[in-house]
Amino acid sequence: MPILGILASGQQPALNTGSYESIATTTVGAGGAGGIVFSSIPSTYTHLQLRGIMRGNRSGALDEMGMRFNGGTASVTFHNLYSDGFNALATGAAAAGWSWFTPIASASETAGSFSQVVIDILDYSNPNKYKTFHSSSGYDSNGTGRIYLASGMQLSTPAINDITIIPSNTTFVQYSQLALYGIKGV
């Protein structure tokens, strides 16, 4: 995968940044959505990346995005790192099926604030490896910036051909959007 940004601009010869290909994009309409599904994912890429802006309508509590591969119930381990500029927190867990690992802006956060989310899923089509993923997200929480880093592993080896994303105990609000990209190369 090429290095993007400042490092890439200094490389000689220039790096090919065309290794990202759009697979699908979903934008939540009026009334919200209980989840987003990307299905029939081709196995022609090395890695996958989800990029989006997300917000849930949960009131009075933190909201998170959950992710599941192939509609399955395989065990997942994951951890979160969190900071709001004043405090830092690390958590981890193991679960069956869903990985609750990426906090997103909720109805209790700054009006109109959406989380910016990037999730990488590595070696998704390799049938001989557990599937690892990591994410970064951040948003404005009533005047305080919050950032999250997370990673996890699904303890099963089948190639990923569908991804389901849902918010915890809520729905995604209108204008939430996720785009799925395939990444070629190493």
pLDDT of 93 reads 81
pLDDT of 17 reads 53
Question: Omega into 103 within 30° of 0, i.e. cis?
Answer: no
pLDDT of 41 reads 97
* Whole-structure pTM value: 0.85
* 115, β-bridge pairs: 54
pLDDT of 137 reads 92
C-alpha closest to that of 95 among 78, 70, 71, 118: 78
Identify whether the C-beta of residue 51 lies closer than 8 Å to the C-beta of residue 153: no
Q: Domain coordinates of the chain in residue numbers?
A: 19-183
From first to last of its 186 residues, the chain has per-residue pLDDT tens of 444 444 444 444 444 555 889 999 999 999 999 999 999 999 999 999 999 999 999 887 777 888 888 887 778 888 888 888 888 988 888 876 666 667 888 888 888 889 999 999 999 999 999 999 999 999 888 888 888 998 989 888 999 999 999 888 789 999 999 999 999 977
pLDDT of 141 reads 83
Identify whether the C-beta of residue 46 lies closer than 8 Å to the C-beta of residue 183: yes
pLDDT of 119 reads 94
